Structure 1
């Protein structure tokens, strides 16, 4: 496995710096189809295959029914709704829908009471996401190097078998790190107040 080529190709395909930005979101409210189109345009190149769906009507309806974001008005989604859907999109790859609901509950509560500037919160989130991307590239480089060093201890004459086995070790290491971060996030979720979202007055 060539570390440099592998790393460059994987980082490129991951699109780790790709997010829905505040500039991507129109100032006018959008219908559901327009919201879906916005996400499809932004993340289409990151699909694992052609059958993968970035966002669907069923997904959005399930988020609404599950109260993952505050109620919409006149079947239209505001800038704040789209920000919350973007957060859900990013969170759902690692934690359960119930955990997402609990995570976003204080955000929804403060949005409904008018105590939160969601644009400001989301801007900080995106700044952290960029720093996360930089840190990920550094950590990924380290994990690849450590995997190569560990795999070199294995003796086998078939190069293809060694390459595949090295990839198995790398996959295992990446998943292990992912699990550790996910478990840490879940522990933090458990510390959030478990209060119901208050209805809008």
Structure 2
């Protein structure tokens, strides 16, 4: 089982903006999409990555914008995916602050900010799963303060995922002994 989970993490691809449904979807489709795509990151849990109650809570707390006539758009999915990844290390208050900071970035679109986050996440996850550490930093052309913060935040999350994976492996070995 460990090898399969390791391979899933090592080869994980965070959905890019172009991979998100380009049409409006309902809550149950949002839940299915995110659980399906992010499950490898939650290798040690049988629970869903996200539930409708969680989505409603994020909307209620203004972490994510409310749906439009019960329809979710690509930007809803992008924010929810980011929240699901960020919650591995950060409180909802911190996540709200991080999202506000990243929204202040001078980027052409939400899709560009999301793709930067996604690419940064994939970059660090692949390196840390392969080598146990970062061999090469993710670089932005002319990094601003917000991008440097994104780099630090993502590294923290990925190191936590790696640490949990190694701990999970050790616990599994102890249970077999």
TM-score, length-scaled by structure 2: 0.63
Q: 1:67 to 1:108 in 2, by over 3 A?
A: farther
In the TM superposition, what is the alpha-carbon distance from 1:56 to its structure 2 partner? Answer: 0.3
Contact 1:32–1:75 under 8 Å retained in 2: yes
Residue 64 in structure 1 maps to residue 62 in structure 2: no
Residue 54 in structure 1 maps to residue 49 in structure 2: yes
- CA RMSD after TM alignment: 3.2
In the TM superposition, what is the alpha-carbon distance from 1:15 to its structure 2 partner? Answer: 4.9
- How many residues align? The count is 136
Q: Which has the higher contact order (CA 8 A, sep 6+)?
A: 2
In the TM superposition, what is the alpha-carbon distance from 1:80 to its structure 2 partner? Answer: 0.6
Partner of 2:79: 84
From the CA coordinates, give the structure whose radius of gyration is larger: 1
Partner of 1:123: 115
Q: 1:36 to 1:15 in 2, by over 3 A?
A: farther
Q: 1:116 to 1:77 in 2, by over 3 A?
A: farther
Partner of 1:136: 128
Report the Cα distance in structure 2 between the residues aligned to 1:32 and 1:80, rounded to whole angstroms. 14
TM-score, length-scaled by structure 1: 0.56
Unpaired segments of 5 or more residues in structure 2?
135-154, 158-177
Which deviations, in whole Å up to 9, do the C-alpha atoms of 1:142-185 show, x marking residues without a partner?
Answer: 9xxxxxxxxxxxxxxxxxxxxxxxxxxxxxxxxxxxxx947xxx
